[in-house]
Every structure is written in structure tokens, then in C-alpha cells.
């Protein structure tokens, strides 16, 4: 387990505090999401029956737009990389990355209730050869030898939203991050408490706002932030 917890005073995480602007429940449906710059739409099954991850969240667009732009600049950017998405929900960001780049592998991860949706979305987009879905509960030890412990890129879209999950999420980020691992984390500022996550993160990671994102200002105005985390 991570030293972060010991360094902190007690009673910071006061219990499950769900966000209020989660949006309406989404009935199960399949749709086609079109992004300018992406050759074909992403087919996406959404269904909030299994939890909040069953629908697309705002921060996903920040990352997808960035990776589309980056692909135009340098199509080899994520070539041959092993990518893992944390708290993937529908898996939208990972799907976009796999469609854009000749990645080695893109692994979508989330908790058990999201497993079917992630698998369905991989199939819908015919990406089974280069993608897979796995269960990864933040804070739980990743078994030795797991391919998750050998990834180049970590994606986390809208994963900073639940105070009780701040430390487990950081523990997982730390477990995955080696010297050269790049973590892309986009999030929507919702509550003051979110600051706590970033204070804790700065103890272990260098946090850099993604400077070359052409949509940075536009998204910042909507309270969306996009960072790169690198292990200190």
C-alpha cells in the first residue's frame, strides 16, 4: 500500500459523497459518435444500469479531441504503445485511441459491472484483436506478471469524482507508473474537495497541464482540465 495514506492526517475522506451533476440515467442504447478527424464513427453502447460509467462523461471529449489533433501532428505518437484506460466505463477514450493509432494493445479496465459494456463496445467497433477489457479495482494489488504492470500509457477520463476513491486511484496510478509511463488524466472541476486529489498526487507525481492542446482554453472555460502525470 501507498505511503500517501500515512502522510495524511486522519478523517479527510469522510465517506461516499456522490456528485450531483452526474446527469440523467441513460437507457440502454447503441449510438454512433462522430468526431471530426476520426475516419469512422465510434459505435457506443451506453447503459447506466451498471453504474455511472455506463454513459459518456465530458472529460472523455477533451482527451479524444486531443488525441485526434495529436494524430494529425504525429500519427506515430502512440504507435506500438501498450495503453490502459482506468475507470473506462464505456471505454470510449480507449476505443478512440485504438481507432486512431496503431497501438500494440489497448486494455480497458473498470469494475465488474462495466465489464459487459466494455466488451460489447470493443466488439461493436471490431477491435477485438487489439483491445481487451479487464477488471481493475483501484487500490487493489495488481498480480505480479500482469500485463497491466507493463504499460506505456495510462488514460483516466473523469476518474476524479469520488472522494473515497482518491487514495485507491492514486495507489493504482502509482502501481502502473514506471519512470517512462505517461498518464493522461482529464477531469471536470466539480467540488472544492477535488483539490485534495491533486494535492496528494503532487507528492508522488509531477503534474503538467497539457500545454499543446489546441482546445485547452475552450475546455478550461467549461471547468475541464487535462494533465500529464509523470512519476517523480
Ligand X SMILES: C[S@@+](CC[C@H](N)C(=O)[O-])C[C@H]1O[C@@H](n2cnc3c(N)ncnc32)[C@H](O)[C@@H]1O
The contact set with ligand X (CB under 6 A) reads: 51-53, 56-57, 59-60, 87-89, 92, 110-111, 114, 137-138, 157-159, 161, 165, 168
Residue (114 or 232) nearer to ligand X, CB: 114
Smallest distance, ligand X to C-beta of residue 155, A: 8
**What are the DSSP calls for 66-92, one per residue?**
HHHHHHHH-TTTTTT-EEEEES-TT-H
Smallest distance, ligand X to C-beta of residue 45, A: 13
Q: List phi, psi (to 5°) of 138.
A: -55, 140
For strands 82-86 and 105-110, give the pairing.
parallel
Smallest distance, ligand X to C-beta of residue 76, A: 25
Smallest distance, ligand X to C-beta of residue 121, A: 11
The sign of the dihedral angle between the CA atoms of 23, 13, 188, 190 is: positive
The maximal CA–CA distance of the chain, rounded, in angstroms, is: 50
Smallest distance, ligand X to C-beta of residue 170, A: 11
Select the residue whose beta carbon is closest to ligand X and give its number: 53
**DSSP structural state of residue 143:** P
State yes or no: 48 annotated in a binding site.
no
State yes or no: 57 annotated in a binding site.
yes
Residue (132 or 168) nearer to ligand X, CB: 168
Among residues 130, 152, 148, 132, which one has the least CA distance to residue 140? 148
State yes or no: 91 annotated in a binding site.
no
Residue (89 or 201) nearer to ligand X, CB: 89
Residue (89 or 194) nearer to ligand X, CB: 89
Rounded CA gap, 50 and 52, in Å? 7
Rounded (10°) angle between helices 92-100 and 115-124: 30
Residue (81 or 171) nearer to ligand X, CB: 171
State yes or no: 87 annotated in a binding site.
yes
State yes or no: 31 annotated in a binding site.
no
Q: List phi, psi (to 5°) of 156.
A: -140, 105
- CB burial of 130-142 (b: ≥16 within 10 Å; e: otherwise) equals bbbbeebebbeee
State yes or no: 23 annotated in a binding site.
no
Binding residues: 57, 87-89, 110, 138, 157
| Residues of each annotated binding site for S-adenosyl-L-methionine | 57, 87-89, 110, 138, 157
Amino acid at each position: 500500500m501507498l505511503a500517501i495514506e500515512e502522510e495524511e492526517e486522519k478523517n479527510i475522506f469522510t465517506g461516499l459523497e456522490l456528485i450531483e451533476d452526474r446527469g440523467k440515467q441513460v437507457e440502454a442504447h447503441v449510438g454512433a459518435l462522430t468526431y471530426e478527424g476520426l475516419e469512422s464513427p465510434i459505435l457506443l453502447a451506453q447503459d447506466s444500469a451498471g453504474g455511472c460509467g455506463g454513459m459518456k462523461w465530458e472529460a472523455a471529449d477533451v482527451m479524444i479531441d486531443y488525441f485526434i489533433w495529436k494524430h494529425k501532428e504525429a500519427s506515430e505518437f502512440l504507435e506500438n504503445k501498450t495503453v490502459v484506460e482506468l475507470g473506462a466505463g464505456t471505454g470510449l477514450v480507449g476505443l478512440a485511441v485504438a481507432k486512431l493509432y496503431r497501438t500494440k494493445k489497448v486494455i480497458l479496465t473498470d469494475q465488474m459491472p462495466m465489464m459487459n459494456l466494455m466488451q460489447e463496445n470493443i466488439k461493436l467497433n471490431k477491435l477485438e484483436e487489439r483491445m481487451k477489457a479487464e477488471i481493475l479495482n483501484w487500490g487493489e494489488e495488481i498480480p505480479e506478471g500482469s500485463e497491466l504492470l507493463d504499460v506505456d500509457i495510462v488514460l483516466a477520463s473523469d476518474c476524479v469524482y469520488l472522494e473515497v476513491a482518491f487514495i485507491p486511484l492514486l495507489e493504482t496510478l502509482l502501481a502502473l507508473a514506471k519512470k517512462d509511463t505517461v498518464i493522461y488524466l482529464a477531469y471536470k472541476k466539480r467540488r472544492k474537495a477535488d483539490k485534495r486529489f491533486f494535492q496528494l498526487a503532487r507528492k508522488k507525481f509531477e503534474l503538467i497541464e497539457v500545454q499543446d492542446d489546441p482546445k485547452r482554453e475552450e475546455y478550461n472555460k467549461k471547468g475541464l482540465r487535462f494533465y500529464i502525470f509523470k512519476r517523480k
